[in-house]
Amino acid sequence: MSMPFLRVSLLALACSIGVAAPSLAETVTFKVDMTASKEVPPNPSKGKGQVTATFDTASKTLTWKGDYSDLTGPAIMAHFHGPADPSKNAAVVIPIFTNAGSAKNPFEGSMTLTDQQAQ
């Protein structure tokens, strides 16, 4: 399973980062529960997970930690999507892991965002 439920949940997180980034430097924390019902289109998968991400607006650093469970096969990839209409899939902006060999559970990482990614 390629974790499509994770993809859409992370899309919501990425959209929130773009909307919630204030003009004054601060740290913003987001927590997202990932479920198949949030997929585009929704599906009956039992897979689920959660991710907590922190965005430092001064350094533009996004840090995340999460986990997943109940997949029908190995996790193949996970990533954050850019802002989009919640009823549509958006472009991948930040990889979390990109192949089954690099999929860890729990997972964590960080990345300094470009100005465009941080908008």
Strands 27-35 and 48-56, sheet pairing:
antiparallel
User: What is the separation of C-alpha 82 from the centre of its chain, rounded to a whole number of angstroms?
Assistant: 9
The H or E element spanning position 64 is strand 61-69
pLDDT at 22 over 80: no
Query: How many other C-beta atoms lie within 10 A of the C-beta of residue 34?
Result: 26
pTM above 0.85, yes or no: no
- Rounded average pLDDT over 110-116: 93
* Per-residue pLDDT at 107: 93
Of residues 29 and 86, the one with the higher pLDDT is: 29
Residue 34's beta-bridge partner residues? 49
Q: What is the mean pLDDT of the chain?
A: 82
CB 80 within 8 A of CB 93: yes
Secondary structure of residue 47 in the 3-state scheme: coil
Place 3 in a pLDDT band, splitting at 50, 70 and 90. Answer: very low
99 or 25, greater pLDDT:
99
Res 97 pLDDT > 90: no
114 DSSP 8-state letter: P
Taking the mean position of all CA atoms in its chain, how far away is CA 28? 15
Q: For residue 28, which phi and psi values (nearest 5 degrees)?
A: -115, 130
